């Protein structure tokens, strides 16, 4: 099933205080990443959650930045946003695997509420189709993160 067929879903009702969220962007493809970041911020603004956005160099640095941010213990939840477009070499495969594996490892180690919008696409057109007003992976990542926050509020921090 394509995510184009998926329903964005509703913003979950949150028990307790609203989360403070850090959005970490890797704007190598600036227009695409900014579009997804705008989508994530729009979701957070709808519930009036505090949020801050920082930029880093690229997708490969996302796990490192997430770990630094988690260790700072200033935020309740995180969204990582980036885009890798396939080129002519194996570089794409290495960057995508390292970034995604690293992001998951940090999230599991630090028990993070995390939304991930790291596009790994064949063409820039595919990325653009996932970062606009009609279909936005940044908004999806924000809702996914909020569902994790709702779960933590319901179960308690583990």
153 has catalytic annotation: no
- Alpha helix positions (H), the chain: 30-46, 62-72, 91-110, 124-129, 137-155
- pLDDT number for residue 104: 98
- pLDDT number for residue 3: 54
CA distance 65 to 86: 23
Q: What is the mean pLDDT of each run of 10 residues along the chain (158 residues)?
A: 57 90 97 98 97 97 98 97 94 95 98 98 97 95 97 84
- pLDDT number for residue 89: 87
- pLDDT number for residue 8: 63
Tell me if 70 is assigned to a ligand binding site.
Answer: no
- pLDDT number for residue 158: 54
State pTM to two decimals.
Answer: 0.93
For Cα atoms 86, 88, 93, give the angle at the middle one, nearest 5 degrees.
50
- pLDDT number for residue 43: 97
- Cα–Cα distances in angstroms (integers) from residue 81 to residues 23, 47, 53, 55, 59, in the given order: 7, 20, 10, 10, 8
Tell me if 28 is assigned to a ligand binding site.
Answer: yes
Give me the catalytic one of 91, 135, 153, 154: 91
- pLDDT number for residue 16: 84
Tell me if 130 is assigned to a ligand binding site.
Answer: yes
- Match 């184009």 to its residue by tokens: 4
CB atoms within 10 A of CB 143: 18
Tell me if 92 is assigned to a ligand binding site.
Answer: no
**Residue-wise pLDDT tens digits, 52-72:** 999 999 999 999 999 999 999
- Residues constituting the chain: 158
């Amino acid at each position: 099933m394509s995510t184009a067929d998926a329903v964005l879903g509703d913003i979950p009702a949150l028990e307790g205080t609203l989360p403070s969220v850090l959005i970490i962007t890797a704007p190598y493809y600036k227009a695409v990443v900014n579009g997804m970041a705008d989508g994530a911020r729009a979701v957070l603004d709808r519930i009036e959650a505090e949020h801050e956005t920082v930029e880093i160099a690229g997708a490969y640095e996302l796990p490192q930045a997430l770990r630094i941010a988690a260790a700072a213990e200033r935020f309740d939840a995180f969204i990582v946003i980036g885009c890798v477009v396939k080129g002519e070499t194996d570089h794409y495969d290495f960057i995508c695997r390292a970034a995604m594996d690293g992001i998951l490892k940090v999230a599991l180690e630090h028990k993070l509420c995390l939304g991930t919008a790291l596009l790994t696409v064949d063409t820039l057109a595919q990325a653009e189709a996932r970062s606009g007003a009609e279909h936005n992976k940044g908004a999806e990542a924000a809702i996914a993160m909020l569902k994790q926050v709702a779960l933590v509020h319901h179960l308690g921090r583990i």
